[in-house]
Each structure stands twice: as structure tokens, then as C-alpha cells.
Amino acid sequence: MRFLYPEFLYLMLIPAGVLIYLISTNRDALERIFEPKTLEKLRISGDGLGRTGHNVLIFIAFFFMTLALAQPVIEKGEERVKVSGTDIVIAIDLSLSMQARDFFPNRLAFAKQKIKEILPQLPAGRVAIVGFTSASFIVAPLTTDKDALNFLLNRLKSETITAKGTDLLAAIKGSIKLLKNSSSKTLLLVTDGGDVENIDPIVSLLKKESVRPIIWMVATQKGAPLPMEKFSKKSKDLVLSKANRRLKRVADECDGLYVEATISQRDEKKIEEYLKQLSNVSKTYEKVVNKRIQLFYYPLALALLILPFGIYSIGRGSQSALLLFFISLSYQKVDAGILDFQLIEDGKKTYKEGDYKRSVKAFEELSIHNPRSEVWFNLGNSYYKSGRYKMALNAYSKVVTKDLKIEKAKLYNMANCYVKLGELEKAALFYQKVLKLGNDEDAKANLALVLKALKEKKKQDKKSSYKGKNKEKNRNKSSSEASVSKENSSKPGALKNRVKKRELSQAEEKKWMQLIENQPLKSKLYPLTPPESKENVNPW
């Protein structure tokens, strides 16, 4: 056994000195006048421990607390873990052209949602996020913490950037700085392309630095007008922003991938498949990880057990026995809390790793002796991810909360479960319940899809009943086959892939993370590459 932070043990020298001083000098007025035997007879009800005993117990309690702070561990040896060498930088276009509304509600919001959906599926070793306009800014450095990336991505707004315009070279140069020490470099460029015409400098820079680009074009060929109220100089001219398909040549010449954004998940799947191919051929390296068993909760539990004896006066006989009994009960609760903590950690870890069976097992065990709403919610999420939608519905139904955000998240997840089960009427009912609690764009969009599918299904049912009457006459006609194919397209299974993939809400994060999420992003974005001074540069 060893201590991870042994420096905390030196802190015990201070209370040890104070204790010695108190024991040797601190005597009340009666102790100075009477002898100890005489004083004992004069006292009506004596304290079983006395002042010295209390001081000693407080010292022991603080000693165990300090041991807990020093984090005692048992070393289980080192383990070599193979890690993929593919690092990815996601460069997000924050220019004003990303406010165009050819994607709902606008290109930037749509792109952020897409990135959040694809983040858990990335096979990369580490991921970084860079925002860019005419300069590039660090949003998140290379990390494996997907929760932190989601947290920062949620707070990324174009209003925090003062630089205007679109400079793809600035985005690439900033990304290269983050990928400097990576063995395999991949750049996911999320942009509408701006109005870049000369792509030769971009191609030469990517080839020189051996960076594979993935161009995720978040714009349509038809385009959309820019909201002119966003510009500092008001203009009556209409500016139409379209997808800059010149960037396809960048991906082709640099052995990358060009994907145009869609409202379905086709674009996400293409990127996932491409990255999986890269991870298969990219270099892997071994990372040494120390395996440890944490023991800090044992001295912490002992400290909590001893501290009440040091603080409160304890009489002799039955009173002491009664206090010991209640403290032993509280100790059992502390021990249960420690086990709960371990189960929560196991459930959270396995959930992040995608091992939903083990995550379900951890949260099921936790729900037996600690059936709180948070536990049921996490259990429902694990059931959902493992495809057990009926079990997920049962778990979500046990979540009782006054928190409006969590209640909306619960109802939204239940609606998604009903979509997966093909019960579209119930799904529509729960989406409507979500909207009654407040505006939710995802729920609104999913409700529209569900209602449309139900309407189409009713039409197809009428057509099929009508055609059933003339079945013998039209048995060999090709029109019958066409109607069957149309009917299949309106079945619930077809809708499952069309419903927005915000399958699990952000409420599954830690409670303190939820509280932090309500705070605005106050930190500044510092440029990796300063904007170049160019004349006649469009502000979008």
C-alpha cells in the first residue's frame, strides 16, 4: 500500500501540536481549585470521556480524514493498453454565413447537433475542437473526455467571436498546431466553404503536413439568404450563401472524404465508416496504466464514526450504549453509500465504454437498495442503449422529480422508446407532453414526423382495404406491388431512422454538470492563428 498524496500527512503535525498544548495547559477553573478526586464527587453527572478524551478523539478523527486525503491505494501492477494513434481535430466554421437557415434552425446549430451525435462513435484516440472565422480559436485541446467536449460544444456561439469572414487556411493552420505531435492526423472540417475559390494553398498545406481532411459540407446547393441583421453595416442587398463544392477537390487530392450534411444519419455513417478504416490502418501505441484499488473511504468512514464521540458529551452506562447503537447504524449507511459510489462509478464507466450490459447490471444492483430517481433514469438510459426499450420505459416511469428539465428529458426518452417499439400513437402523446412543459425543437420535429407517418399509415390502410375488395381482379397487376412498397415505407420501422437522433438527453450527466450548463460561457476564445489583414474581405 502507498499514498498518492503523502504531503497531506505532514499536515497532521499542526493538530498534533495543538492537541499536546491543550492537554498540558487547558484546565478549567474548577480543576485549578479542587483535586481530581474531590471534583469527581462534586459533579452531578460526569462526562464519561472528559475534556482530554474529547480532544484525543477529535484528533484521531482528523487523523483519519487526513489519511483519506492522502488517498491510500493498493497497487495492482501496470497494464499495457493499446491506444489508437488517430487524433482528430474538429474545426467548426463560426462565420456569419453559418447563420443561414437552409438547415433548421440554422447551419451552426445543426452542425453542433450533428457533431454531438457523432462524438460517441468516433474511434479516435483523442479529439480536439477548434472554432474559426478569419482566425482560429481553441475551444478544447486534444482529449479523450467526451463529456467535456460536449459541455464546451454546447456553449460555443458565434457571438463570442469578434473576427469576421471565413479563412479555411487559418482553420487548418490552427488544427495543425494541435496535431503537431500526433502520429496520425485527421481534420474534420465542418463548414459551408465560404467563398473560397483558390484551393491550391489548402491542398499543398494539407499534403505537406500529412493531414487527412474530412470535409463536412453544412450547406445546400440551393443555398439560403444570410440574415443581414447580423452584420454591423446594414445592407439592403440580399446575400445568398451556397455550398462551396470546390472543397470536394481538396478531399479528393488529399485522400480524404467529402460529405454533404443531410437531415438523416447517412452523412454520419459515412464519416464513421471512413474513420474506422483509418483506425484499422493507423499506427497504434501502447500506454502504461497503473491499476489501483482505492482505500480512502475506509479511513473516511472511521473518521465519521469517531467524530461524534469527540464533539458531544457522552454519559456512562445505557446512554453510551444507546449512542453507540445509533452510530453503528449510521456507519452501515456510510458503508452502503461507499458501495453506492463504487456502483455509480462502474455504471458510468461501462456506459461510456459502450458496455451497456455491465452498465445495466451496475444500475440494477444500485436500484435494489437505493431506488432514487437518478438511479432509475440512468438505468433507463442503459436499457435504451442496449435495445431493451420496454425495460427502459419501466425504469423511466419510476422517475419522480420536480426538476422541469429532467422531467422533459424523461418524457422525451419515453417517446423515443415508443418510436423504437413502433407504437407511434403513444410516441406522439409523449412528445406532446414534452411540448406542454416548454419549447423543445427536437420534440417538435419528431412529433411532426410521427404525425405525418400516422397520417400516411391511415391513408395506406384505406387503400389496402379498398384494394382488398378487388384482390382477385388485380392480383397480377404491378400496381399492387407498388402500393405494398409504399405501405412498407410508412411503417414504424422506416420512421425509426428518420426521428432525430437525440436519443438520450443531457440530463443523464452529473447533477453538478447540469447546474454548470445553465451558466453562460464567460471564457474568451484565444486565437491559434491571428486573422490576416486582407482588403475587400466579405464579413461572412
**pLDDT (tens digit per residue) in 97-129:** 999 999 988 999 999 999 998 988 887 578 999
Asked if pLDDT for residue 429 goes beyond 50, the answer is yes
- Domain of residue 153: give its range: 87-226+241-283
Query: In terms of pLDDT, which residue wins out, 385 or 80?
Result: 385
- Bigger pLDDT: 188 vs 407: 188
One domain, residues 24 and 133: no
Q: Round the average pLDDT of the chain to a whole number and report it.
A: 75
3-state secondary structure of 91: strand
Q: Are 136 and 253 found together in one domain?
A: yes
Both 68 and 91 in a single domain?
Answer: no
472 within some domain: no
**96 and 137 belong to one structural domain:** yes
Contact between residue 254 and residue 210 where contact means Cβ atoms under 8 Å apart: no
CA torsion sign, 375 to 379 to 380 to 382?
Answer: positive
- The answer on 141 and 178 residing in a single domain is yes
- Is position 483 within any domain? no
Determine, yes or no, domain membership for 167: yes
Cβ pair 385, 353 in contact under 8 A: no
Return the axis-axis angle of helices 441-469 and 404-421, rounded to nearest 10°.
Answer: 20
Q: Do 46 and 145 sit in the same domain of this protein?
A: no
Asked if residue 166 and residue 270 are part of one domain, the reply reads yes
What digits encode the pLDDT tens for the residues 202-236? 999 999 999 999 999 999 999 999 876 655 545 55
Cβ atoms of 395 and 427 closer than 8 Å = no
Give me the mean pLDDT over the 51-79 stretch. Answer: 82
Strand 211-217 relative to strand 257-260: parallel, antiparallel, unpaired? parallel
Tell whether 398 is covered by a domain: no
Is 12 part of any domain? yes
Question: Is residue 257 pLDDT above 70, yes or no?
Answer: yes
Residue 160, in any domain of the structure: yes
Shared domain for 139 and 219, answered yes or no, is: yes
41 has a pLDDT exceeding 70: no
- What's the N-to-C CA distance of the chain in angstroms? 60
Rounded-to-integer distance, Cα 185 and Cα 86, Å: 6
User: Residue 347's pLDDT band (boundaries 50, 70, 90)?
Assistant: low
Q: Could you tell me if residue 108 is inside a domain?
A: yes
Residue 384 has pLDDT above 90, yes or no: no
Q: Is residue 470 predicted with pLDDT exceeding 80? A: no
> What grid cell was written down for 290?
497503473
- Taking 90 as the threshold, does the pLDDT of residue 250 lie above it? yes
Taking 60 as the threshold, does the pLDDT of residue 74 lie above it? yes
Residues 178 and 258 in one domain: yes
Q: Is the pLDDT of residue 303 over 50?
A: yes
Whole-angstrom Cα distance, residue 328 to residue 105? 58
| DSSP state for residue 219 in the 8-state scheme | S
List, as own/partner pairs, every contact residues 222-227 make where C-beta atoms lie below 8 angstroms and the sequence separation is at least 24, other chains included: 222/102, 223/100, 223/102, 224/100, 224/101, 224/102, 225/100, 226/96, 226/97, 226/99, 226/100, 226/540, 227/99, 227/100, 227/101
Number of structural domains (the chain) is 2
pLDDT tens readout for residues 179-205: 988 878 899 999 999 888 899 999 999
**Is it the case that residue 249 has pLDDT exceeding 90?**
yes
In a domain, 18, yes or no: yes
Q: Provide the 3-class DSSP secondary structure of residue 514.
A: helix
137 and 56 assigned to the same domain: no
125 and 17 inside one domain: no
Q: Are 24 and 98 within one domain?
A: no
Is the model more confident about 371 or about 170? 170
Question: Could you give phi then psi for residue 91, rounded to 5 degrees?
Answer: -100, 115
- CA distances, 101 to each of 39, 107, 158, 219, 240 (Å): 87, 6, 15, 9, 11
- Residue 266 predicted with pLDDT over 50: yes
What band does 296 get if pLDDT is binned at 50, 70 and 90? confident
What's the CATH code of the domain at 180? 3.40.50.410
Instruction: Over range 326-348, report the average pLDDT.
Output: 49
Residue 285 C-alpha cell reads as: 501505441
Greater pLDDT, 118 or 354: 118
Which pLDDT score is estimated for 271?
93
pLDDT(178) > 50: yes
